[in-house]
Structure 1
């Protein structure tokens, strides 16, 4: 087999394999993909003003983003891709004054905060 024919055959095979990702086969199970921190309203409701960083980390877990330029802010990000491919993203931030929790912001709000 001539080398140019081998090269053409390999290029054709690579093109066909690459095209397989564009086709969505019916009946194929797609999973839900969750990335980042899993945060629930119940977890957020456990937060109280005056908690220490360790207490907040115990309730919410390790933050996904700790900003080196703003060490008094922790960001928790949750990203979910459903089987249809739709992506939803939620954020939750906690703010500290030194080692003390002073405020929160984002898609969840603790109940009973001033």
Structure 2
């Protein structure tokens, strides 16, 4: 006998000794596991969403805060009451614009906070050449509280 005929062929997956029903059962389990995993993964995509931050832009001012402003105040007093304006126009330095926009993110939506769009909250303070308030516009566009 030669040395080549004495070596048995090595088989890693021999299906000869297993009944076909066992293979079918194994294939069914594998298919069910893969299907269940895909269903869970897809349901997770629809249930969970990306966290979105709230986007406040500008200075939120209420009517009660803005009513503290009086004609005759100076610019430092206005800064103390309202803070820095959103717009200080270099072409019109005697006008300060306080604009506020808000886009609700995940937390704002959960709390039911409405969006404020297109600068609908817009307060304008006019000064004379000496920096004294002469006129205030837009109080009605601000929220009460």
TM range (shorter): 0.5 to 0.7
Match of 1:77 in 2: 99
Runs of 4+ in 1 over 3 A off after TM superposition: 24-31, 83-87
- TM-score scaled to structure 2, two decimals? 0.51
1:3-42 alignment to 2 at 5 Å? Answer: 25-28=46-49, 29-42=51-64
Secondary structure at 2:65's aligned position in 1? helix
Match of 2:137 in 1: 105
For structure 1, the residue ranges without an aligned partner over 5 or more in a row are 1-23, 109-114
Structure with greater Cα Rg: 2
1:65 aligned to 2:87? yes
- CA deviation after TM superposition for structure 1 residue 68, in Å: 0.3
1:44 aligned to 2:66? yes
Change (3 A) 1:30 1:67: same
> Could you say what the CA RMSD is over the residues aligned between the two structures, in angstroms?
2.5
- TM-score scaled to structure 1, two decimals? 0.64
- CA deviation after TM superposition for structure 1 residue 25, in Å: 4.9
For structure 2, the residue ranges without an aligned partner over 5 or more in a row are 1-44
Tell me the matched-pair count.
Answer: 86
Match of 1:95 in 2: 126
Q: Which has the higher helix share?
A: 2
Change (3 A) 1:87 1:50: closer
**Aligned partners of 2:59 and 2:98 also within 8 Å:** yes
